[in-house]
Amino acid sequence: MTSPARLNCPATPLIYPKSPARRAVMLGCGVVGGGVVGRLPEGIDLAGILTRMPRPQGVSGFPVFTDADTVFALKPELVIEALPGGAEAEALVERAVEAGCDIVSANKDVIARRPDLVARTQAQGRVFAYSSAVGGGAPVLETVACLRESGSGVGQVRGVLNGTSNFVLDRLAQGCSLGYAVEEAQRAGFAEADPSADLDGLDAANKLVLIAREAWGVEIDPAAVITTSIADLSTCVLDAARRDRRPIRQVASLSRNASGVSAQVRLESLSAHDPLSRARAEGNVVALLPERGAEVIVTGRGAGRLPAAGSLIGDLSRLLKVRPK
């Protein structure tokens, strides 16, 4: 009996068609946006970037526009928002919601004050992702979501949530003046031209609002969060902390009981055993105490281009997975 002939055909790889790219625009291209534009995940077609100042050469090969009407006329499906907080950013985010876009944003100021924008986006079956608005390189909102979904819940939150303020406090502990410390933070790309939101605790207060929303589904008015300012630190307090080797940190805290949610941002002199005392320079450290289970510590760089841009890119990658085109 002869054996059946064996066909020696070359293996032909299976080719699967790629999903079409998602048409996107970026609003703002400063510290954070500039760190994102050159590292966009595959599957995003960036049609244009909105900036305040003209850039005739574009950015990384992408066209730049200064007129919002022109940008939205590109009919984006996805809006990547990387603007500083304020009325202009709020109006543009609202326009993106009205256009029925998926939105990825790092703008904790707008997102904290306008929960309705998030709700309206989700009601349209779209995604409004903003984990990059809290923690920079520290996955705070992601960890809170995991605790909630696992059934462990979140009982209390304490954290160093603002990398710029932590950087400034470290420099003050070394004997620098406040003005010099802020200038150094600005040169390093951590502080904005106006650092008051960081120093006064307003940035951390906005982040507490987002954490409370993720943890408990409750809304807090950012203006109702009690805050204290680094600008009010006296020399004698700084000297005493240095002498006692107790670092001063801007501590943001959340707790919930039968009467409601308590939120505050205050300056505390911490013992060496406190996990928040580990925060160095622009670092963030957040201690999450579940309702059931052991304390969870989340750490990461909290300020600067790379942490914020990396977190925003993470949101984009997750969006492409949960909402393939």
**Whole-structure pTM value:** 0.88
105 and 175 together in one domain? no
232 and 103 together in one domain? no
Whether residue 159 is contained in a domain is answered as yes
pLDDT of residue 20: 75
**Domain boundaries, position 30:** 22-136+307-322
129 and 149 together in one domain? no
Cα 171 to Cα 130, 216, 249, distances in angstroms: 30, 36, 12
Cα 196 to Cα 32, 282, 305, distances in angstroms: 19, 16, 19
Whether residue 298 contacts residue 278, with contact meaning beta carbons closer than 8 Å, is answered with: no
297 and 311 together in one domain? no
222 and 204 together in one domain? yes
Whether residue 16 is contained in a domain is answered as no
Low-confidence ranges of the chain (pLDDT < 70): 1-19, 323-325
215 and 273 together in one domain? yes
124 and 273 together in one domain? no
Whether residue 11 is contained in a domain is answered as no
Whether residue 8 is contained in a domain is answered as no
The number of angstroms, rounded, from the C-alpha of 203 to the middle of its chain's C-alpha atoms is 11
267 and 165 together in one domain? yes
User: Hunting for tokens 């009407």 — which residue is that?
Assistant: 69
How is residue 151 written in tokens? 């059934």
Could you give the residue ranges of the DSSP H alpha helices within 273-304?
Answer: none
Each residue of 214-242: pLDDT tens digit? 999 999 999 999 999 999 999 999 999 99
Whether residue 196 contacts residue 202, with contact meaning beta carbons closer than 8 Å, is answered with: yes
Residue 233's domain is classified under what CATH number? 3.30.360.10
121 and 223 together in one domain? no
41 and 116 together in one domain? yes
Q: Which of 250, 54, 275, 231 is nearest to 162 (CA)?
A: 250
Whether residue 167 is contained in a domain is answered as yes
188 and 296 together in one domain? yes
Residue 32's domain is classified under what CATH number? 3.40.50.720
Each residue of 34-87: pLDDT tens digit? 889 989 999 999 999 999 888 888 888 899 999 999 999 999 999 999 998 789
155 and 228 together in one domain? yes
Whether residue 9 is contained in a domain is answered as no
Number of domains in the chain: 2
pLDDT of residue 1: 42
Whether residue 4 is contained in a domain is answered as no
Whether residue 82 is contained in a domain is answered as yes
